[in-house]
Chains A and B, each alone.
Chain A
């Protein structure tokens, strides 16, 4: 993606000319046909990544209770809209604008004359596509990162927090780390390899989620006084599966699209990235399934889904840098990390309803570090970022760079998020009241229900609103209800 240091740019730009356009005038730069191909691919990829919001909506709603399902789904529209506007006005400039080693300082609101685009956004000048396409592709990444945050904070956060934190995150958290790694900042100078954002997107989202989950505390009934962890059962596993498959689909835009060109670093290289991405996801789903089977005695359905996503998260940094066999190793280990990580976070008594910290955080760290092990010399050279990993004769250099990058990114995002959320906590408050939490966020935050029939007798339901957690889980509640619809005379 973005982080190419453009040594081979002129050379590479010649390839599309010969292959795609066929016109002989190679000295004039990319042909319209090549630019069109690059733009089409990038916009299609951006659209695929945008659809990941639907994946998150279903995944998170499915893993939480019916009484908050509408709230959890609609917040994806809200935060996507916030990210769209704020990243356009501020975030894109901070992330990709030419500035210092810490953040960009130019290109606010994308108000840049065509002739200046490659100077103002020099970090993205490797791609010949229009600025609009670059913005579209980058803003959906910011929105994905923001979407990850709320999974860890689900079912107890005040709606206003989404709005305020969404603005700060899109303007001053995500773009800063993005600048470090992709925007010409200090980590990109060091040669950190994060092709599509295991750290930039996923670790950032997860670090904020961790800060939020800690500050909020667990949902009512999650941990008993004697320290026992109670399951708070997600209300719809098919939603979880659908959400996961939508995310998997979206990842075919996320990783392969991060070439930001169809013709670079070599013509059609994005298809190689698509292949490693898919290999890793498959390995992760299966490794998580077997790991859950071994540890929990059953192939836990939600863990299979988590494993696939963890693998996709891990391969995000590595997809363009590693050989196919290594992508399988990266994915398989990520699946195991997901299962163990979810159990570990729960053991630490941090209530992360969807496993965001394990799936996007731990697996994001693993994927980023994996480049320091598995990056091949020829691919690192092709992409013009960093060097080969430990297993390919690169010694520890790249691994150390990756560790620095991961540590600094986590520290910045975690501390900033703690700070922002803490200020919100002592001013407007970040958690709903006990009564509101028991009622569910659909009714307490929006005065309406995601599933009216279940919670209000006047819609023909049994009206079991505000049932205590655990004992009467929504899963049973809703199954029961569905049966009832056909039984009543």
Chain B
């Protein structure tokens, strides 16, 4: 099993959800996060004074999928989350050792 973890622009979330749902992937965890990347935040202006936004609001999604689905999901997320501009985010794929459905006790891919 793989966990696809993506940091994306908040307004892209809806599109990403639709894309992976269309693939038959059910289940996603969403967290509101803040962070910065290569741009190191940005500067904005308010009433003639500047303020630095060091940590930009992003959404982190986590989707755990079978090994077979992992690449397709990554592609779908990349396509749906991408706007072509700076700050589109990143996708990380990590190995998942096990999964348990709490209600039934099912394990591994059965639990997804």
Contacts and interface: CB of A to CB of B under 8 A. Distances in A.
Physical interaction between A and B? yes
Contact of B49 (A230, A295, A298, A473): A230
B53 A473 contact: yes
A435 interface: no
A347 B49 CA distance: 10
A81 interface: no
Contact of B13 (A302, A303, A355, A487): A487
Nearest to A63: B47
Interface string B21-59: 000000001101010000000001111111111110101
Contact of A470 (B10, B32, B52): B52
Range class of the A interface residue count = 20 to 34
Nearest to B47: A302
A471 interface: yes
A462 interface: yes
A25 interface: no
Interface string A223-246: 000000111111000000000000
Given A487-B30, A488-B30, A343 B48 contact: yes
B25 to A, nearest CB: 15
A484 B33 CA distance: 10
B10 A483 contact: yes
A98 to B, nearest CB: 46
A473 B51 contact: yes
Contacts of B30: 487-489
B49 A346 contact: yes
A229 B49 contact: yes
A485 to B, nearest CB: 10
Interface in A467-481: 470-473, 476, 479-481
Nearest to B44: A231
A481 B10 CA distance: 11
Contacts of A462: 32
Contacts of B45: 231, 296-298, 300
A472 B50 contact: no
B48 A342 contact: yes
Nearest to B13: A487
A137 B47 CA distance: 34
Contact of A479 (B46, B47, B57): B57
B48 A471 contact: no
Range class of the B interface residue count = 20 to 34
Contacts of A472: 34, 55
A55 to B, nearest CB: 19
Interface string A292-320: 00011110101100000000000000000
A302 B54 CA distance: 23
B32 A480 contact: yes
A476 B51 contact: no
Given A471-B55, A480-B57, A231 B49 contact: yes
Contact of A231 (B29, B51, B54): B51
Interface in B56-79: 57, 59
B47 A470 contact: no
Contacts of B49: 229-231, 346
Given A480-B10, A480-B32, A231 B53 contact: no
Interface string A244-269: 00000000000000000000000000
Nearest to A480: B57
B55 A233 contact: no
Contact of A476 (B13, B29, B50, B57): B57
Interface string B76-109: 0000000000000000000000000000000000
A285 to B, nearest CB: 16
A230 B51 contact: yes
A462 B34 CA distance: 12
Given A462-B32, A479-B57, A296 B10 contact: no
B53 A476 contact: yes
A462 B57 CA distance: 13
Interface of A: 229-234, 295-298, 300, 302-303, 342-343, 346, 355, 462, 470-473, 476, 479-481, 483-484, 487-489
Return the 5 tightest CB-CB contacts between A and B, nearest first. A231-B46, A231-B51, A231-B49, A229-B49, A480-B57
Given A230-B52, A473-B53, 8 more contacts: A231-B47, A233-B46, A300-B47, A302-B46, A471-B54, A476-B53, A479-B57, A483-B32
20 contacts: A231-B51, A232-B51, A295-B48, A296-B48, A297-B45, A300-B48, A346-B47, A462-B32, A471-B52, A471-B54, A471-B55, A472-B34, A473-B51, A473-B53, A476-B53, A480-B10, A480-B32, A483-B59, A487-B30, A489-B29
